[in-house]
């Protein structure tokens, strides 16, 4: 067994993509990473939080047989670790005295050496770890080959207690195992929290995060290291797996310091959001073993950017686009849909819905006698399209990709069992103004790892023309909604910031418009409960982040 010299330690980070619940897959990932770390001369390999089971495992943790499988897998990994000199710091669940903990396990010399438990259990937003785990005590350092490792698990870094305990009990460096989901500006927040812990402890810090899509959550990786002067020493890539060595040296003063390592360029906001959508969709489709995607191609910007994301995620050969014109569909829309499909290299088929609408008119005509056309007939068109897509899904196994965005879902500007139908809604947490921004970005850039083409992915006219559902003559979205730059600003105030109408009005917005938007937001809750899952990119995504009762008599928003 090679022990590190008294003045040098090599710690490898395993920024990898687990599958929740697939313990054999995750064990194979760890075993492969151990082999790589050995070949690179690492003393210790560090995984992300609960990597053995995938994160977040949610109520799988309540299954005794699942916990038993996880425990058996730890023993398998101990045997694997014993084949070489690289030790393993593993995120895993741990059952002890009838209680279950979110734990980190040190495996060395082919055996479990130490177990520590997560102290700070998040219980807000998408997190409800209090439901399935018990909090552990503030941990002391983990002794490892003559070095005292101050190990924390994710939320432990967001508050001072664990760091203070580790520093006071002799930790010499800080290692954080994370399952930290992506949100816009989240990287800066992580850095701020890490800086606070460094200043409290005067210790260098290594932060390891997973990279994957898991239902609505997407994890961006972007692992990093800071020295005790809060200088960035390592920045792992976002949105891709990586096994990277970090080099640590003990100085003449006896203190451990991380040495400079690779620093990957950080993505700008539009690129980060686009990459989040691609990874979230790719992992949802592949991990659930769908053979492909089908979506309605309207000639509008939402379906065009969804098609681009889908092609970038899984390849054009697995993306099936369907144009479903009615008598209200414009020639521009037909042309734009065909051009976008051609630019992406994806299949486009045309299935007109006129026969279905005629059949509905004949079927419902006697019941509708004496009543003129209204929203009912518009919704029938949307539902005919939904039925068509679901039929293709049933026949070929393709997943229907819903194309609605957050602005529409906020206001109920969507049709149940129509454009809302589908297995996944990739734009569910993306405001319309952001849809425009990422569409312009993708037309000018091809993201790293994308399977789609270089160059533009949609005609410029799709981006510049007024958005419309084309369910009646001369219809535009702004017939019933404020301009999107106004609407999205008001919605952001109501949803992400929880501001009152008066507070939003103080920013210069019309009070009557604010009230109208708030009423639409409030009334549409029942629709959102029936919407498919979609990638979370903001602090308050619809779903577990924002839980309002459907039956709700509260009227105060002043």
Annotated catalytic residues are 49, 118, 154
3-state SS class at 107: strand
Question: Rounded to an integer, what distance in angstroms lies between the CA atom of residue 413 and that of residue 406?
Answer: 10
132, 100 in Cβ contact below 8 A? yes
313, 287 in Cβ contact below 8 A? no
Compute how many other C-beta atoms are within 10 angstroms of the C-beta atom of residue 270.
18
C-alpha distances (whole Å) from 293 to each of 282, 417, 459 are: 10, 18, 22
Residue 299 in tokens: 């000639």
86, 76 in Cβ contact below 8 A? no
Residue 553 has what DSSP assignment? -
**Angle 301-314/269-287 helices, nearest 10 degrees?**
60
Question: Rounded to an integer, what distance in angstroms lies between the CA atom of residue 162 and that of residue 194?
Answer: 13
First-to-last alpha carbon distance for the chain, in angstroms, is 69
265 alpha-carbon distance from chain centroid: 20
Place of tokens 């009990």: 169
Question: Rounded to an integer, what distance in angstroms lies between the CA atom of residue 190 and that of residue 159?
Answer: 12
Place of tokens 């310091």: 257
Place of tokens 């577990």: 544
Residue 141 has what DSSP assignment? P
Residue spans of alpha helices (H) in 58-133: 64-81
Question: Rounded to an integer, what distance in angstroms lies between the CA atom of residue 195 and that of residue 200?
Answer: 9
Q: Cα torsion for 152, 158, 161, 164, to the nearest 10°?
A: 70
- Mention every residue, 6+ apart, whose C-beta is less than 8 A from residue 512: none
Q: Which of 391, 392, 314, 378 is nearest to 348 (CA)?
A: 392
448, 238 in Cβ contact below 8 A? no
- 222 bridge partner residues: none
11, 206 in Cβ contact below 8 A? yes
3-state SS class at 545: coil
Q: Which of 452, 497, 413 is nearest to 307 (CA)?
A: 452
88, 34 in Cβ contact below 8 A? yes
Question: Rounded to an integer, what distance in angstroms lies between the CA atom of residue 298 and that of residue 168?
Answer: 62
């Amino acid at each position: 067994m090679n022990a590190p010299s008294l003045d040098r330690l090599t710690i490898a980070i395993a920024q990898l993509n687990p599958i929740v619940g697939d313990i054999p897959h995750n064990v194979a990932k760890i075993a492969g990473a151990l082999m790589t770390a050995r070949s690179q001369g690492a003393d210790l390999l560090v995984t992300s939080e609960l990597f053995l089971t995938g994160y977040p495992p949610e109520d799988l943790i309540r299954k005794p047989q699942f916990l038993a499988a996880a425990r058996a897998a730890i023993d398998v990994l101990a045997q694997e670790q014993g084949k070489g000199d690289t030790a393993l710091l593993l995120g895993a669940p741990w059952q002890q005295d009838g209680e279950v903990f979110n734990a980190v396990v040190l495996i060395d010399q082919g055996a479990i050496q130490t177990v520590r438990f997560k102290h700070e259990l998040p219980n807000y937003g998408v997190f409800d770890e209090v439901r399935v785990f018990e909090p552990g005590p503030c941990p002391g350092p983990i002794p490892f080959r003559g070095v005292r490792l101050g190990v924390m698990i994710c939320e432990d870094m967001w508050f001072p207690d664990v760091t203070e305990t580790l520093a006071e009990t002799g930790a010499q460096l800080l290692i954080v195992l994370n399952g930290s989901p992506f949100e816009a500006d989240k990287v800066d927040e992580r850095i701020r929290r890490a800086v606070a812990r460094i200043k409290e402890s005067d210790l260098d810090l290594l932060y390891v995060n997973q990279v994957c899509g898991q239902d609505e959550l997407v994890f961006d990786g972007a692992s990093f290291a800071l020295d005790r002067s809060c200088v960035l020493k390592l920045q792992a890539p976002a949105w891709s797996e990586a096994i990277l060595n970090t080099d640590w040296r003990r100085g003449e003063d006896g203190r451990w310091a991380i040495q400079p390592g690779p620093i990957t360029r950080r993505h700008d906001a539009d690129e980060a959001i686009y990459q989040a959508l691609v990874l979230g969709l790719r992992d949802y489709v592949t991990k659930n073993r769908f053979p492909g995607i089908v979506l309605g191609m309207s000639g509008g910007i939402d379906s065009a950017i969804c098609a681009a994301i889908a092609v970038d995620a899984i390849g054009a050969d697995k993306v099936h686009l369907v144009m479903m014109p009615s008598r209200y569909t414009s020639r521009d829309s037909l042309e734009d849909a065909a051009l976008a499909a051609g630019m992406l290299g994806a299949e486009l088929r045309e299935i007109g819905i006129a026969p279905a609408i005629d059949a509905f008119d004949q079927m419902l005509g006697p019941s509708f006698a004496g009543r003129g056309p209204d929203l009912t007939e518009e919704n029938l068109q949307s539902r005919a399209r939904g039925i068509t897509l679901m039929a293709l899904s049933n026949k070929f196994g393709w997943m229907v990709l819903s194309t609605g965005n957050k602005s529409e879902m906020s206001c109920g500007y969507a049709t149940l069992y129509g454009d809302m139908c589908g297995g996944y809604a990739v734009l569910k947490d993306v405001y319309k103004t952001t849809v425009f921004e990422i569409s312009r970005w993708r037309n000018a850039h091809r993201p790293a790892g994308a399977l789609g083409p270089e160059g533009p992915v949609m005609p410029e006219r799709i981006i510049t023309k007024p958005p419309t559902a084309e369910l009646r003559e001369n219809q535009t979205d702004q017939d019933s909604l404020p301009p999107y730059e106004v609407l999205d600003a008001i919605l952001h105030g109501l949803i992400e910031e929880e501001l009152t109408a008066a507070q939003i009005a103080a920013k210069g917005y019309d009070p009557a418009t604010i009230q109208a938007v708030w009423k639409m937001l409030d009334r549409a809750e029942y629709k959102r409960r029936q919407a498919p899952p979609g990638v979370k990119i903001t602090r308050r995504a619809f779903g577990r982040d924002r839980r309002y009762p459907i039956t709700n008599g509260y009227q105060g928003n002043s």
